[in-house]
Structures are given as C-alpha cells and as structure tokens.
Copies of this chain bind each other. A is one copy, B any other.
Amino acid sequence: MSNIFIHPTALVETEQIGPGTRVWAMAHIMKDATIGANCNIGDHCFVEAGALIGNDVTVKNSNMIWEGVTIADGAFIGPHVFFTNDRFPRSPRYARVNRRYSDREWLVPTYIGEGASLGAGAVLLAGISVGAFAMVGAGAVVTRDVPDHALVIGNPAHLHGWVCYCGLPLHFEASRATCATCNLMFQQTNNSIHRSGTTTIS
C-alpha cells in the first residue's frame, strides 16, 4: 500500500485501502474492510470487515462502519454517526433470545449515496438508503429513505428542504431555485428535484 498514511496508534488489518487515504489515531480498520482512495478516517473510528467505503470520503472521528454499510464516493460522515445493520438486535450469545441468529437474515444493508452528508450523531436504522447529495441533519433519526438532494432533520427525520451539491439550502419559487453559491439551477417535481437544462456554469 503506497502513499497511505496510517497513524502509529491506528490498527489497520485490511490490505484494501486506496492511495492517498489517511487513517488517524486509535482507529481500527478490520481485515476485509474496503476503503477507496483519498479518504480521511478520523480518530477512534472502527471499520468492520465487509464495510465498503468509496473514494474521497470524509469519515469524521469515532464512527463505526459495520458490515452491510456501503458509502459511495465523496460522502461526508459527520462525527460519530450511528449506523446499524439489524432491525431488532438481541445478544447472539444468549440462548433465550438468539433464535434470529441461526442464519444471516438479520443483516440488513445501508447505502449512503454519492456526495451525501450525515450530520453529527445522526442515527440510521438498518436498511436505509440516503440519496446522492442529500443531507441528514445533526441528531436526526432516519427511519425512511432519503431522496437525492433532500435535507432531513428531527426524530423521526422528516423532509425539511433541499440542498445543492455544495450543501447550501435551495429556496424554491414556482418550483425553481438557483444556488446562490454555485449558480446551478434546479427544478422541483413532487418529491424530488433535478438540475435544470440551462445553467450558467457547467
């Protein structure tokens, strides 16, 4: 593994890390975890065997990325987001409650789309998909899928607005909005938005 920075106090047991990625203090990356190029994995993180992280992903401190979690390119995982992979967890080592662990059907995947952001301490139930360029507010508890570019907040999380690629909120009038920072134009239709054909920059 060339051009990878691993802090001396980190434990990295996987061979599957892309160039330019940095793993910080006291993080632990298990064998058979996969991390792409140019990522940043913060202090005290844990990445489990089977987790998949794309390229250019920022994983802030203390995150636990379990088997079953896939994170697409360019996502931002805020400080200590709560991923889960079991809808109705029990202690697998206790005979009175471990009936569901006789096979692997308890394992439910989670998908975080390209360029999406998950705010600090957000909680994602197992099985959630977060759309591309969406934003989950800090402390939100996400119980349903999040559309592309949507901003969701609260417990349970609900749709609060829409954000541009850059993360800033879009203000729609007559179903149209232009990002004040990026100058990109968007069109709203029902429960989704998409870029309009005409934009002033590419």
* Chain A interface (Cβ < 8 Å from any Cβ of B): 9, 11, 25-26, 28, 38-40, 42-44, 46, 56-58, 60-62, 64, 73-76, 78-80, 82-84, 88-100, 114-115, 117, 119-121, 123, 125, 133, 135, 138-139, 141, 154-156, 163, 165-169, 181-182
Quote the shortest CB–CB distance from A76 to chain B (angstroms). 4
- 6 CB-based A-B contacts, threshold 8 Å: A64-B79, A90-B117, A96-B114, A97-B133, A138-B141, A141-B155
Cβ-defined contact, B43 with A28, below 8 A: yes
Each complex incorporates copies of this chain amounting to 3
Contact of A117 among B26, B46, B89 (CB under 8 A): B89
Q: Does B96 lie within 8 Å of A115, measured CB to CB?
A: yes
Q: Which residues of B contact A95 (CB under 8 A)?
A: 56
Give the docked Cα–Cα distance between A92 and B75 (Å). Answer: 9
Cα A40 to Cα B82 in complex, Å, equals 19
The contact of A155 among B62, B94, B155, B181, by CB within 8 Å, is B155
CA distance A189 to B52 in the complex (A): 46
Which residues of B sit under 8 angstroms from A46, Cβ to Cβ?
A: 42-44, 61-62
Contact A93 B38 (CB under 8 A): yes
How many whole Å from A24's CB to the nearest CB in chain B? 8
B115 touches A138 (CB 8 A): no
